[in-house]
Amino acid sequence: MLAGLAVLSAPLSAARPAKSATPPEMWEMSLDGGRTLTWERSFHSEAEVKTNRGFWNKVWDVIAGEPDYRSMVRPYSVAEDSRGRVIVTDPGAAGVHIFDFEQHKYKFLQHLGKQFSMLSPQCVAVDAQDNIYVTDSDTGVIFVFEPGGKFVRAIGALKGGEGYFKRPTGIAVDSAAQRIFVTDTLRDKVYVLDMQGTVLATIGQRGEAEGEFNFPTELRLEGDNLLVVDAMNFRVQVFDRAGKFEYAIGRIGDQPGAMFRPKAAGVDSEGDLYVVDALWGVVQVFNRQGQLLYYFGAAGTHAGEFQLPTGLFIDRDDRVFVVDSFNRRVQVFRYAGLRTAARGDQP
C-alpha cells in the first residue's frame, strides 16, 4: 500500500502547474468623492465552487481524470438569496445554476415534467424564505422551487399543456405584501399576482407614454420602487409598488447616457441606478435625476470586459453581479461608496 501511495503521489505532485509570473487580472475605477468600483472575480463553472477537494479525490483525479464539471452555456439572469448563494438562469443549458461559494456546494436545477418542462429559463427571483421563482419564456409559466432545489409548482399552468403567459421574462417577489410581479414581454404588461398565481392587477399597455411599454423585460424591486426595463422604448421606468408611475431614465441614441439594448437594472446603496446595455457591452450608472454618472465595460474577454452582458444584481454589500452571456460567465464587482442609508430592499 505504501509503495502504491508513493507511485500515486509522484504524478500528483508533477501534475501541479508551475507558478506563473503573471499576476492575476486587476481592474478598478476611481470615482468622485473617493468612491471606487473594483473587479473582484469571475466564475463560470461548478469547478470554481468545489475547491476544497481532499487528498484522495485529487489522487483519484490523477488516475481517472478530473470530474466532468457543469459550466454555463448561455447564462441570462442572476440573483442572490439570503444565504449568499448566487443563482444564475441558463437558457442554453435549460436549467438554473446555484453557486454556494461559502459551503463549496453547487446544484443544477432542471424540471422535466409530464405537463410542463423547463425549456428556456429567463429571469430569477427569491422570496423571504429563499424559494426560487424562474420564468420560462417558451413554456409560458413560472417554475417555483424550494431552497434545496425541489420543484414545488408551476404558476400560470393551464389545462392542455399551455402556460398563461405569452412570454414571461422579468420577475420580482414582494414577500411582505404577498405579491409576485412578472412582465409578459409580448403583451407589454406587468402582471401583479398573489402567491397562488391569481392575477390581481396589470400595469401598463403598449405605447410610448409614461406607464406604457414596448417589450418590457427585466423587473427589480428596490425599496418602495418597482424598476421595469422598457427595452424597445430604450428606458427604465420606475413605479411605486401599487403601479403608479414615478419617473423614467433613458432615451434612444448612440451617445453616453442613451440606451440601445437595455437588459437589466439595479440600485446600489446610494440610490444610483445601474443599467446593462447588451449591444454596447457596458453598464451605465445614473442618479435619480437621470444624469449619467459613469459607465464601465468594453468589448473583450478580460476583467471588466463584456460580450453581450444581460443580467445584473446588486446585493446588500454593494457587490455588483453582471451576467457576461457570450463569455459564459458572471463577473463580480465591488462598489465602495458613502453608505448614507440602509437599502431596505427586502425580497
- Measured in whole angstroms, how far is the alpha carbon of residue 71 from the centre of its chain? 16
Beta bridge partners of 245: 239
The Cα 307–Cα 327 span in angstroms is: 6
pLDDT at res. 66: 60
Q: Which pLDDT value is given to residue 320? A: 98
pLDDT at 341 > cutoff 70? no
Answer whether 204's CB lies under 8 Å from 212's CB.
yes
Geometric angle at alpha carbon 274, from 271 and 275, rounded to 5°: 145
Q: Radius of gyration over alpha carbons of the chain, in Å? A: 22
More confident residue, 6 or 249: 249
343: confidence class by pLDDT, cuts 50, 70, 90: very low
Q: What is the 3-state secondary structure (H, E, C) of the chain?
A: CHHHHHHHHHHHHHCCCCCCCCCCCCCEEECHHHCEEEEEEEECEHHHCCCCCCHHHHHHHHHHCCCCCCECCCCCCEEECCCCCEEEEECCCCEEEEEECCCCEEEEECCECCCCECCCEEEEEECCCCCEEEEECCCCEEEEECCCCCEEEEECEECCCEECCCCEEEEEEECCCCEEEEEEHHHCEEEEEECCCCEEEEECCECCCCCCECCEEEEEEECCEEEEEEHHHCEEEEEECCCCEEEEECCECCCCCCECCEEEEEECCCCCEEEEECCCCEEEEECCCCCEEEEECCECCCCCCECCEEEEEECCCCEEEEEEHHHCEEEEEEEECCCCCCCCCCC
pLDDT for the residue 344: 46
Q: For residue 15, is pLDDT > 60?
A: no
Query: Is it the case that residue 164 has pLDDT exceeding 50?
Result: yes
Confidence bin at 337 (pLDDT 50/70/90): confident
pLDDT number for residue 333: 98
Longest Cα–Cα distance of the chain, Å, equals 78
Average pLDDT over residues 239-261: 90
Residue-averaged pLDDT of the chain: 87
Fold adopted by 25-44+70-336:
Neuraminidase (2.120.10)
Query: Tens digits of per-residue pLDDT, 48-64?
Result: 998 665 544 545 455 65
54 Cβ contact partners less than 8 Å away, ≥ 6 residues apart: none
pLDDT tens digits, one per residue of 268-306:
999 999 999 998 999 999 999 999 999 999 999 999 999
Integer Cα distance of 198 and 196 in angstroms: 6
Average pLDDT for 149-157 = 94
Q: How far apart are CA 51 and CA 101, in angstroms?
A: 9
pLDDT in tens, 178-197: 999 999 999 999 999 999 99
Above 80 in pLDDT, residue 318?
A: yes
pLDDT tens figures, 66-78:
668 999 999 999 9
Q: How much is the pLDDT for 22? A: 43
pLDDT at 1: 35
Q: Where are the domains of the chain?
A: 25-44+70-336
Calpha distance 118→103 (Å, rounded): 27
Distance, C-alpha 232 to centroid of its chain: 21
Output the pLDDT for position 85.
Answer: 98
Q: How many residues are given for the chain?
A: 347
Query: What average pLDDT does range 23-29 have in this prediction?
Result: 81
pLDDT at 24: 66
- 298 vs 151: CA distance, rounded Å: 39
What's residue 202's pLDDT?
96
Q: Is residue 336 pLDDT above 70, yes or no?
A: yes
Residue 316: alpha-carbon gap to chain centroid? 15
Residue 130 has pLDDT above 60, yes or no: yes
State what percent of residues in the chain have pLDDT above 90.
76
**pLDDT range class, residue 115, cuts 50, 70, 90:** confident
